[in-house]
Amino acid sequence: MTGAALAPALARAGVTWRDDGQVILTGPALALADACDRAFLALAAPWGAVEERHPPFVAAAPLDRLDYFRSFPHLATFPVCLDDDDANLDAFTGTDPVRGDGTVGLTRTRPAREVLTPAACYQLYIHHAGARLDAPRYLTVRNTCFRREREYRPLRRQWAFQMREIVAIGARDEVRAFLDRTRAMVDALVAGLGLPAAWELATDPFFRPTENARYLLQRVSPTKHELVYDGLAIGSVNLHHDHFGATFDLERDGRPATSGCVAFGLERWLYALTDRFGADPAGWPDIEAAARAAAAEAA
C-alpha cells in the first residue's frame, strides 16, 4: 500500500502524519511502537545486555575523531542557540523572530559544540572509552536520532526518529558470534511474524563516497547488512572492526576491541507491520511474544 493510501486508515489506529514528515502516536499505534521496543529488548536479553539511556546531544569533538563530519556532513543536525547578550536578543525580538515563510530570523548564534546524535550507539563507545575488558560487554540503548534528508516520509524517513540498538564490544570472534546469533534471532522473529523481509548488503550514505576510504572499504569488505521490507531498511547488522575500539581506546585482553551493533528503526517497523498486516489493530501480531519465541529458538 502506498503511503498516501495508508494515512487515513492509520490515523484511526493512532498515527497522525505531520506536514513535516514526522508522526504523532497515540492509542493502538503507540502501544505497537512500545511493543516493538520490548520485542527488541527480548532479543537483547539472551546477551544480558545492560541498558543505558543517553542524552540526545553528543559532543562534536569525539565524533570528529571518527571522521564523522567529513563522511556525513549532509546528515548532521546541530543544536544552535542565540548569543544571549541583551543587545543580540533585542535585535532578534525587535523584528519578526519568525518570518512569513516560517523561517526563523536568527541573529548572532553561539558556536555549536554538539550534534544531535545521528545514531544511538555512538555515545556508548564514547562513554566506555578507556575500558579494559576481560569479557565481552553487551549493551543496549534507545534514543531519538536525527538525520537530515532531502525529503521526508512519515514513518519511513524522518528527520527525528527512534532507534533501538544492541551492541557488543569484545574480541573479534565474540563480536562476530554476537552478530551472527542476533541476526538468526531477527530471522526467527520475521519468520514467526510472517513479515517478508530479507537481508541485503549495504553501505552507509557517505558524502562523496568514491573519495572516501571508509566507503571503499565497505565495498570490498562488507560490514553492513540491512533487513529490507519492500525496499525499506527496518534493521541493520554492522561490524565496525576496531574503528571505535582504536579511536576510543577500548581494549579486550590488551588489544583494540572489536565492536558491532544490531539496530532497529522503530517507526519503520511500525510502517512495515501496518503495511503488512493492515491498519486495523485487530490484525496486528503479538511482536513481543514472537520475539521471545525467536530468542528462545536461536538460543
Residues engaged in binding a copy of itself (CB under 8 A): 16, 18, 20, 22-27, 30, 33, 50-57, 59-61, 63-64, 69-70, 73-74, 76-82, 84, 86, 89, 92-93, 96-98, 102-104, 106, 109, 111-116, 123, 127, 144, 146, 148, 150, 158-160, 207-208
Residue whose grid cell is 533487513: 227
Q: How far is the CB of 14 from a copy of itself (least distance, A)?
A: 9
Among residues 61, 42, 37, 220, the alpha carbon closest in space to that of 129 is found at 61
Q: Identify which of residues 101 and 221 has a Cβ nearer to a copy of itself in the complex.
A: 101
Rounded to a whole number of angstroms, the distance between the first and last alpha carbons of the chain is: 35
Q: How far is the CB of 45 from a copy of itself (least distance, A)?
A: 16
Distance of CA 264 to the CA centre of its chain: 6
Among residues 4, 79, 9, 34, the alpha carbon closest in space to that of 267 is found at 34
- Burial, 65: exposed, middle or buried (Cβ in 10 Å; 0-12, 13-18, 19+)? exposed
Rounded CA gap, 62 and 64, in Å?
5
Q: How far is the CB of 195 from a copy of itself (least distance, A)?
A: 23
Look up residue 250 and give its three cell numbers: 577500548
Rg (C-alpha) for the chain, rounded Å, is 21
Q: How far is the CB of 139 from a copy of itself (least distance, A)?
A: 9
Q: How far is the CB of 206 from a copy of itself (least distance, A)?
A: 11
Q: Identify which of residues 7 and 89 has a Cβ nearer to a copy of itself in the complex.
A: 89
Q: Identify which of residues 79 and 222 has a Cβ nearer to a copy of itself in the complex.
A: 79
Q: How far is the CB of 125 from a copy of itself (least distance, A)?
A: 13
Rounded CA gap, 282 and 262, in Å?
30
Look up residue 147 and give its three cell numbers: 538525520
Rounded CA gap, 205 and 193, in Å?
29
Q: How far is the CB of 27 from a copy of itself (least distance, A)?
A: 7
List residues bridging with 98 in a β-sheet. 104
Q: Identify which of residues 160 and 216 has a Cβ nearer to a copy of itself in the complex.
A: 160
Look up residue 145 and give its three cell numbers: 536520532
Q: How far is the CB of 54 from a copy of itself (least distance, A)?
A: 5
Q: Identify which of residues 33 and 197 has a Cβ nearer to a copy of itself in the complex.
A: 33
Distance of CA 62 to the CA centre of its chain: 18
Q: Identify which of residues 121 and 239 has a Cβ nearer to a copy of itself in the complex.
A: 121
Rounded CA gap, 286 and 299, in Å?
20
Q: Identify which of residues 80 and 135 has a Cβ nearer to a copy of itself in the complex.
A: 80
Distance of CA 55 to the CA centre of its chain: 14
Cβ atoms of residues 232 and 156 within 8 Å: yes
Q: Identify which of residues 78 and 230 has a Cβ nearer to a copy of itself in the complex.
A: 78
